[in-house]
Structure 1
Amino acid sequence: MRGGPLEGVRVVELTKVWAGPYVGKLLAFLGAEVIRIESLDSLDVTRTYGVKDINKAPGFQAVNPQKLSVQVDMKKPEGIKLVLDLLSKSDVVVENLRPGAVKRLGLGYDVVKAAKPDIVFVSMGMYGSEGPLSYQTGYAPCFAALGGLSLLVGHEGSAPGAMNIRYADSTFGAAAAFATVTALLHRRRTGEGQFIDVSAVESMTSMIGDTIMDFSLNGVVHECDGNLHAEMAPHGVYRCANNEWLSIAVSSEEAWRSMAKVMGQSDNALFSTHAHRKANEAALNQAVSAWTADRDVHELVELLQQNGVAAAKSQSSVDLVADPHLWSRGFYREVTDKTGQTKNIIGPSWKMSRDAEITNAAPQLGEHNAYVFGELLGLSVEQQKQFADSGVTR
C-alpha cells in the first residue's frame, strides 16, 4: 500500500518490449500493484539486449520500476491455470503480445472475463485486435510511420527524416494507460468491466489530428517544415555562442512585444503582428539567429524568461540529467533493488496531492514468486515446490 489514486488496484502484465510495459509503469506510478508474468524460456528482449546479467539490463530497468515479477511457463496448462487464478484476483490485465497470442494461450477476453467478470482487459496491437490489418505486428518505427508522423519529421523542404522511436512506444502506452484509468472509473461507477482495444497506429494518428483533417477535408498533404508552427512565430531553435542552441516559442502578441523590445525590433513593421511574422518568417528567423549568434545561451534563457517568453536551452542527455529544476521537482527518483543497490530513474511526469511512493527498482526475474503464489494464490510451500520441480514455475 504505497498511496496514490490507484492504491489497492492490482494489474497483471502480459507484455513485452516497451509500449506494454510502459502502461504498467504509469499505473504503478499511480499506486497500483503491477505484476509481470515472465518466463526464462521466453524472456523480454529488454532483459537480454546487450547484457550478460538479465537482472541488470538498462532497458528493462528503465521501463519496469516499482513492479513485481513472477515466473510462469505459459506453454503448460498448469501455468495457464495459475495465471487465470491470479487474474481472478486482479483488476486489470494488459497484453501486447503478437496478434492472437493470448487467445492461443487460452487467455482471451471471454476466458478471462469468465474468471473475473469485471476485469479491465487492455489489448494493445499495431492495428488493434479486429479488422483486415489486425494480423500485422510491428515496433515503434512502424507505429510512427504508419500513423503519419514520420512524414512530417524533417527540415523544411527536405525528405522525411524519421523520428525518435521511443515517442511512438511511450505515446501508445500513455494512451492505453489513460484508457485503463477511464475504464476503472467506469467500473467504480457501474460495476462493469471493459475490453479496451488500443491501436498503436490510431494512437499516433491522434497526435496529428489537424493534419489528418486538413487532408480529409481539403486534400492538403503536409510536408516537412522543420520547427515551424502555424500558431507561433518565432518558433524554432537558434544557434548561440559556443555552438549551444536556444529553443524559443512565441505564443502571443504580448510575448512578441517583450521579445522585440530586448531584440531591438520593436519598430520593425515586418514583424508587427502574427500574420506579418508568418508572412516574413524567413526574415524573422534570420533576425533572431543574428541576435542569438554571439550570445551566451544561459544569459538569453534568463533574459527571455524574465520577459515572459518561453525559452530554454536545447539540452543534451547530460544536460537533462544535470538539470536542477528536474531534480527539485522530483522528476528523477531514487529507487533500490533487491540487492540493496540504489539507482536513479525517470519518475512520473506529474505531481499530485496524493502521490504514490516510488521506492523499488525493476524486479529480478521471478523475484516475487513466493508472495504471488503463496500469499495471493494461497499455495502451500509444498505445492510451490511441486510446481517449481515440474517446470511450471521457477
Structure 2
Amino acid sequence: MDSGKTGPLSGVRVLDLTQFLSGPFGTQILGDLGAEIVKIEPPGGELARGVPPHFVEGDSAYYLAVNRNKKSVVIDLKTEKGAELVRELATHFDVLVENNRPGVMERLGLGDAELRARNPRLVYCSISGFGQTGPDRDLPAYDMIVQAMSGGMSLTGESGRAPVRAGIPIGDLAAGMYGAMGILAALVERQTSGEGRFVDVSMLDAQIAMLCYQGAYYLLSGEVPEPQGRGHDSIPTYRAFECGDGVSLVVTANTERMWADLCKAVGLPHLVHDPRFKDSATRLVNKVALWEILEARFRDEPAQSWLDSLNAASIPAALVKTVDKALNASQVAHRDMVVELRSRAGSHVRVPGNPIKFDDPGHAEASYPPHLGEHTNVVLGEYVGLDADALRTLQNQGVVRQFVPGMPSPGVKSR
C-alpha cells in the first residue's frame, strides 16, 4: 500500500500489535523513518487512548505522542476469524511487533513459530517486561517496575532520601528503542539470509544495559553506587548549582583545562593552587568542600549572568529548563523537534519529533495518529482481498470495526 511517505524504510511493512508506550514508541521510530505501520487494535481501542488528563477528538495526548505515521485496523483477536485475519496479514508484512506477556500470542495462534512458518521472511519482535526466558518472564511489568528492579531508581535522587523515578519513562522508551534497533539489524541480515528473525527485547534488560559505567563500577570494585543527586560521582565539577535568583545552572567542567578556566570565570583563581583541588583525584576526595565553595559563589549572581560568563570561557554549562522553555527554545525549533500534526477534522496537535536527521529529509508530512479503525476497510481490502460485503459481514459479527466520522473514540469514556 503506497503511504506517500519517503525515508530509508520506505517499502517496509510493519504490523504493530503493541499498546501503551514501549512498543508504540519503537514502531513510531520505524514509521518516522518511512515504514508503513499498521496498528492492530481491539474493538475498544488500545488502552493508551483513554489515559487522562489531556484529550483531542477523544484520544489522549499520551496516545497521540507515540502513534503518528500509523494506520489503525480494528480486529478482535479473541475470535478465530480475527486471529486468522492477522495470520493472513502477516504473510504480506516484513515485521510484526507485539508487547504482550510471554505466551499470550501463542495462545491466540499468533506466535513467532506459527507466523514465520507461513512467512519465513517475517521479522517478529516481542517486547516484554522480562523477556521470553527466565524465572520472572511471566511477571507483569511497567516502566516504574523495571526502573526499580534495575537499580536505576536507587541512583536517582539525593543521598539519604527515598529513591526517585526518572521523570521520563525511560523503562518504556529504552525498550522501544532497542526493539527498533533489533528489528533493523534483522532486516539487514535478511537481505543476505533471505530469512527473518525472532527479536526478544526485555524492558529490564534494556535498563540493565543502561546502567553503563555505574554497573561497571560495581562489577569491578564491589562498591554499590550511591544516589547521584545533582551531580556525577566521579567528577565533582559536573553538577547543578543553584544561583542567586533560584534558577539552577548545570556546569560540566570535566577536564583540567576546564577546571582552571572555571576557577577564573567565577572569580576564584586561587582554587587552582589549592592542594585540596590540585587534580581530579584530590577534587573527588574533597568534593564536599569544593561544592560548598562553588555553591556559595554561584549564589552571588543570577543564573543567566553565570551562563554568559561560562559560555564566554567555553565551559559547557546550561540552565535547568522547565519543559515549556525547552520545547520553545530556538535550537529545538530549528531542528524541527516539535512536530505539528493535523487531523482530518481540523485539530492541530504538537508533539516531540524524531531526532534522526538525514541529508535529504524527503517531503512527506507526518500524519496524525489514526482514529480507532480508521483504515480497517482499506487495509483488509488491499492485503486480504476482502470486498465490501465480506467486510460488512465481519463488522456485523463484531470481528472488525471501521471508523466513521462522528463515531466517539474510546478515550471519551475515560474522562
Q: Deviations over 1:322-370 (max 9, x none)?
A: 2121111111111112313222110012322243644212110011113
Which aligned pairs between 1:245-324 and structure 2 lie closer than 5 A? Answer: 245-268=248-271, 269=274, 270-324=276-330
Indicate conservation of the 8 Å contact 1:30/1:355, yes or no: no
Show the counterpart of 2:392.
385
The 2-side partners of 1:90 and 1:180 are apart by 13
1:110 counterpart = 2:113: yes
What is the identity, as a one-letter code, of the residue corresponding to 2:253?
V
Show the counterpart of 2:103.
100
The 2-side partners of 1:155 and 1:82 are apart by 52
Which aligned pairs between 1:1-394 and structure 2 lie closer than 5 A? Answer: 1-41=4-44, 43-50=45-52, 55-164=58-167, 166-268=169-271, 269=274, 270-355=276-361, 357-394=364-401
TM-fit CA distance, 1:231: 4.2
The 2-side partners of 1:301 and 1:67 are apart by 42
TM-fit CA distance, 1:210: 3.0
The 2-side partners of 1:158 and 1:358 are apart by 46
- Classify the secondary structure of the residue corresponding to 1:242: coil
Aligned-residue RMSD, C-alpha: 1.9
The 2-side partners of 1:70 and 1:152 are apart by 41
Show the counterpart of 2:409.
none
Indicate conservation of the 8 Å contact 1:147/1:201, yes or no: yes
The 2-side partners of 1:82 and 1:220 are apart by 54
Q: Percent identical across equivalent pairs?
A: 29
Indicate conservation of the 8 Å contact 1:55/1:364, yes or no: no
Indicate conservation of the 8 Å contact 2:144/2:171, yes or no: yes
Q: 1:89 to 1:390 in 2, by over 3 A?
A: same
TM-fit CA distance, 1:74: 0.7
The 2-side partners of 1:296 and 1:215 are apart by 38
The 1-side partners of 2:5 and 2:310 are apart by 41
Q: 1:231 to 1:53 in 2, by over 3 A?
A: closer
Q: Deviations over 1:110-157 (max 9, x none)?
A: 111022111111111111012222111210111111111111112134
TM-fit CA distance, 1:298: 2.4
Indicate conservation of the 8 Å contact 2:231/2:240, yes or no: no
What is the identity, as a one-letter code, of the residue corresponding to 1:345?
V
Indicate conservation of the 8 Å contact 2:261/2:315, yes or no: yes
The 2-side partners of 1:342 and 1:53 are apart by 9
TM-score under structure 2 length normalisation: 0.89
Q: Deviations over 1:37-63 (max 9, x none)?
A: 01224x322111236877421110111
Indicate conservation of the 8 Å contact 2:249/2:319, yes or no: yes
What is the identity, as a one-letter code, of the residue corresponding to 2:378?
Y
Q: Deviations over 1:226-274 (max 9, x none)?
A: 1332443311111123321111112222222222221123332233422
What is the identity, as a one-letter code, of the residue corresponding to 1:220?
E
Indicate conservation of the 8 Å contact 1:67/1:363, yes or no: yes
Indicate conservation of the 8 Å contact 1:231/1:251, yes or no: no
Indicate conservation of the 8 Å contact 1:109/1:195, yes or no: yes
Indicate conservation of the 8 Å contact 2:16/2:37, yes or no: yes
Q: 1:165 to 1:345 in 2, by over 3 A?
A: closer
Structure 1 stretch 263-272 or stretch 186-195: which is displaced more? 263-272
Q: Deviations over 1:152-210 (max 9, x none)?
A: 11213434233336121111211111111111111123222110111111110111133
The 2-side partners of 1:297 and 1:7 are apart by 46
Indicate conservation of the 8 Å contact 2:50/2:59, yes or no: no
- Where structure 1 has 5 or more consecutive residues not aligned to the other structure, the ranges are none
- Classify the secondary structure of the residue corresponding to 1:71: strand
